[in-house]
């Protein structure tokens, strides 16, 4: 067993370095979607190790297995065919003109269905009692990337989303094999067209480059041979199918091994490579901790993953309980993704959103709609979330969620009829406290770490010597407009 890197040793609170509300909020922001004041207090009482165990204590299963009522309802979308087979049957016997019109109608219905699934997921992120489960599902959505941008079936995307949720903290090897059988993935990366007579290398390449090994840890011939191993792996619109007549059963040479390999054999060989576990560890580190991982730390974290036969929970426990995770340079240093910004605002303010579908427009303007990543590499993240256009939408979205504001340019997040409904269900405020106490309460609740004294002074001036509802809401708006609120 490899020696654990010193920075991956468990963080042990002390009198000079306590596990305080700042560190507890950091854990909830990164491992989940932020926390309320009560949740932060609960995590402080637990301590770092128990808190991580608590966050990881969720059932490994799909949403529909936990609750038959927690599913996106696509049945009410007129003209929506949930499978390719149903689509084909609807087109049979039609004239060319009828087919073209029907195809347009089905594409429009599918776009509506994709929005419905995306909205369902955002709602689930804000309400799930297992926030880390949904955060991990979202991480895997950006890792095993599939996009509905090019008319991919909404039903297939929902099925894949459930697969990501099922394996989110399970065994990585089983996960890779499951995603390699997933219809949405096979369709997205063209393995449907991967046949013995004419191999398609797209899935084999991305499997190694993005999903398991990283660039530089395989050769072009390995891509060609892996593609041969995946020939005949296809789908019928809803389920995986194996087309034996399309599969290449000849001997292959892959990463130094020779044999009559199929896709599962290729995955087994990949998992045996020294580069695999550290690469996966680096992806976790970039997403949950810091965009610039220390090579020695991720190598050691990868050792934890490999020594536990690619079970993910031991690695996750090590990461989120480590000294490095709670290093001051990693706290409040990550730009919130649009989804993180929206979901954490809803959860921390404990507000009711009348129509989650109306958030899709804001997420689209900010550059991140679930199920719609731009390409197979997923969303770039980091500083690319912020520009003059998106920053305006980010500010206005937070203000709207807190108090029913309308954006002043671009598409409105809500119409005027729903504005009153939102104002009635916005964040509740109290005024029966000293100005300094009110400022500190809301900074703790929203920023969740100390701010500079000059900025605190601005907030004190805003709330005034005799706080009323209007001045407190004005102070909250100022906090939501601070650069610090864009970070977690």
Looking at the structure, tell me whether residues 214 and 347 fall in a common domain: no
Look at residue 423 in the predicted model and tell me its pLDDT: 37
Co-location of 176 and 300 in the same domain: yes
Q: Are residues 469 and 403 in the same domain?
A: no
Cα–Cα distance between 91 and 99 in angstroms, integer?
A: 6
Quote the tokens at residue 445: 């609740």
pLDDT at 85: 72
205 and 324 fall within a common domain:
yes
**Domain assignment of residue 221, yes or no:** yes
Which two tokens mark 32? 């989940």
CA distance 68 to 65: 7
Pair of tokens at residue 164: 């990501």
The answer on 299 and 359 residing in a single domain is: no
Residue 457 and residue 317 share a domain: no
Q: How confident is the model at residue 405 (pLDDT cuts 50, 70, 90)?
A: low
Residue 20 is encoded by which pair of tokens?
């305080």
Of 21-35, 56-70, 74-88, 343-357, which has the strongest mean pLDDT?
21-35
Residue 29, in any domain of the structure: yes
- Read off the pLDDT of each residue in 83-100 and give the average, rounded to a whole number: 82
What is the per-residue pLDDT across 321-349, written as a single tens digit (0 to 9) for each?
999 999 999 999 999 999 999 999 999 99
Q: How large is the average pLDDT for residues 278-292?
A: 98
Provide the terminal-to-terminal Cα distance of the chain, rounded to the nearest Å.
Answer: 34
Mean pLDDT of the region 434-448 = 97
| Confidence grade of residue 84 (pLDDT, cut at 50, 70, 90) | low
In sequence order, which residues have a C-beta less than 8 Å from that of residue 238 and are 6 or more positions away? 82, 83, 84, 85, 155, 156, 159, 183
Could you tell me the residue range of the domain that residue 359 belongs to? 338-424
Total of domains in the chain = 4
pLDDT in tens, 252-264: 999 999 999 999 9
Residues 253 and 305 reside in one and the same domain: yes
Percent of the chain past pLDDT 70, that is, above it, reads 95
Average pLDDT over residues 354-368: 90
Q: Are residues 238 and 306 in the same domain?
A: yes
Same domain, 404 and 302: no
Encoding tokens for residue 75?
Answer: 């049945």
How many Cβ atoms from other residues are within 10 Å of residue 401's Cβ?
Answer: 23
Neighbours of 91 (CB within 10 A): 15
> Do 349 and 478 reside in the same domain of the chain?
no
Measured between alpha carbons, how far is 153 from 155 in angstroms, rounded to an integer?
5
Residue 418's pLDDT is what? 43
């Amino acid at each position: 067993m490899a020696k654990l890197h010193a920075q991956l040793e468990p963080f042990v609170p002390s009198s000079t370095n306590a596990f305080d509300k700042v560190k507890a909020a950091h854990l909830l922001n990164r491992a989940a979607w932020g926390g309320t004041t009560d949740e932060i207090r609960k995590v402080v009482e637990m301590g770092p190790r128990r808190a991580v165990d608590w966050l990881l204590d969720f059932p490994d299963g799909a949403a529909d297995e936990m609750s038959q009522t927690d599913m996106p309802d696509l049945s009410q979308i007129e003209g929506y065919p949930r499978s390719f087979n149903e689509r084909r049957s609807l087109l049979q016997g039609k004239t060319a003109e009828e087919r073209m019109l029907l195809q347009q109608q089905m594409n429009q219905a599918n776009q509506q269905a994709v929005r419905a699934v995306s909205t369902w997921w955002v709602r689930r992120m804000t309400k799930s009692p297992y926030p880390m489960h949904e955060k991990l599902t979202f991480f895997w959505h950006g890792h095993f990337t599939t996009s509905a941008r090019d008319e991919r079936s909404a039903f297939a995307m929902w099925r894949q989303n459930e697969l990501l949720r099922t394996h989110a903290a399970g065994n990585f090897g089983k996960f890779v094999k499951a995603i390699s059988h997933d219809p949405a993935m096979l369709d997205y990366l063209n393995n449907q067209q991967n046949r013995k007579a004419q191999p398609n290398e797209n899935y084999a390449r991305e499997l190694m480059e993005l999903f398991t090994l990283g660039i530089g840890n395989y050769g072009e011939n390995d891509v060609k041979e892996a593609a041969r191993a995946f020939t005949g792996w296809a789908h019928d619109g809803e389920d995986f199918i194996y087309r034996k007549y399309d599969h290449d059963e000849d001997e292959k040479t892959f990463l130094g091994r020779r044999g009559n390999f199929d896709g599962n054999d290729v995955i087994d060989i990949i998992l045996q490579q020294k580069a695999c576990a550290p690469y996966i560890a680096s992806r976790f580190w970039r997403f949950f901790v810091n965009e610039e991982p220390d090579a020695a730390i991720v190598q050691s974290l990868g050792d934890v993953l490999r020594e536990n036969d690619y079970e993910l929970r031991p690695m996750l426990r090590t990461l989120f309980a480590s000294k490095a995770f709670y290093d001051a340079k990693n706290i409040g240093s990550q730009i919130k993704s649009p989804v993180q910004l929206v979901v954490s605002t809803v959860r921390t303010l404990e507000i009711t959103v009348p129509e989650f579908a109306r958030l899709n427009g804001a997420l689209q303007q900010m550059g991140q709609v679930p199920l719609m990543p731009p390409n197979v590499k997923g969303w770039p993240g980091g500083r690319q979330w912020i520009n003059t256009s998106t920053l305006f939408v980010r500010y206005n979205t937070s203000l709207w969620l807190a108090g029913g504001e309308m954006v002043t340019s671009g598409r409105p997040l809500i119409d005027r009829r729903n504005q009153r409904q939102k104002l009635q269900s916005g964040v509740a405020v109290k005024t029966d406290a000293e100005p300094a106490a009110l400022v500190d309460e809301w900074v703790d609740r929203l920023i969740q770490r100390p701010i500079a004294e000059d900025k605190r002074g601005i907030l004190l001036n805003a709330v005034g010597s005799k706080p009323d509802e209007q001045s407190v809401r004005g102070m909250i708006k100022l906090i939501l407009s601070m650069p610090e609120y864009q970070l977690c």
